[in-house]
Amino acid sequence: MIIDCHGHYTTAPKALEDWRRRQVQSFQDGTTAPRASELRIGDDELRESIEANQLTLMDRRGIDLTVFSPRASFMAHHIGDFAVSSAWAAICNELCARVAALYPDRFATAAMLPQSPGHDTASCIAELDRCVADYGAVGLNLNPDPSGGHWTSPPLTDRYWWPIYEKMVEHDVPAMIHVSTSCNACFHTTGAHYLNADTTAVMQCIQGALFTDFPTLRFVIPHGGGAAPYHWGRFRGLAQEMKKPPLDEHLLGNLYFDTCVYHQPGIDLLARVIPVKNILFASEMIGAVRGIDPQTGHHYDDTRRYIEAASLTPDEREQIYQGNARRVFPRLDARLQERAHV
């Protein structure tokens, strides 16, 4: 089985974007926000948006199941206040859950949190509880920078984040550390802000002792870990100077990297530097990079091709394709086992 741990609903019907535009405008104007009930998207519209896009590519590339969450750049936690984020997260999570219900063998939902800059993170708990209980969410996306590129929140090792971590441990769900749109002109959203955040998250975890306090907490660092694998020697050296344990002890029992790296040399390096047990297959298809690589004639985000071409044993590929994901996402593993016996 091939599990893609990193998928977003980037092809949602246009009515969703229209509703969001009205919501943001009402906040800016100080007028009454649109009600959730005013957004009407039927099942046929959902099917059309998925079957012509994600499902077509999944079938073509041999991907069996995708962990599916709301569009990352649409989270935009820096817009509005907590009420705005709460209403928006609830709508986006419901749509992803409906997709997963329509295609239960192909998608498992992951939750977006109603984060808001400076707001108590405990305010996110109700939505996470709802997504796990009502939608069967197997994970969540955690934005380490709700300010949208200005980094006004404390580091991920700060007690500010404790309420979310405690709930993650209770539900036994991992978090993908994933920022949203950058509103800072210095940082291109997908080319800089995303990768900066991945690298920053790794460094914050090195500096702290988060996994001593939460030994079962699990983070997935997307986009191949940003700069971390490429500069692994730098991080090892910095950890050594800080008198931290070796990184395989300090981080790699809790930190995982996905394969959203869009060329063969990048995947080859990732697989050489990071232990195979810490690598999860992912593509983030129909995401930041949608074009065809003229050097190969294939889509940049067709990441399975890179795994097949990498110097890996069959057992190592099996770990990357499904074994590691089923360990990191135990609720997904339980669901797969249950469906296998239905």
Catalytic residue among 38, 127, 241, 284: 284
Contact 8, 285 (CB under 8 A): no
Contact 248, 236 (CB under 8 A): no
Contacts of 329 by beta carbon, 8 Å cutoff, 6+ apart:
5, 67, 108, 138, 139, 173, 174
Annotated catalytic residue 316: no
* Among the listed residues 227, 325, 238, the one whose alpha carbon sits nearest the alpha carbon of residue 276: 325
> What is the rounded distance in angstroms from the CA atom of residue 112 to the CA atom of residue 341?
30
Angle between helical axes of 232-241 and 194-207 (0-180°, round to 10): 30
The pair of structure tokens assigned to 321 is 């394709």
Contact 113, 140 (CB under 8 A): yes
303-325 core/surface letters (b: 16 or more CB in 10 A; e: else): bbebbeebebeeebbebbbbbbb
* Among the listed residues 213, 214, 171, 175, the one whose alpha carbon sits nearest the alpha carbon of residue 197: 175
Catalytic residues: 284
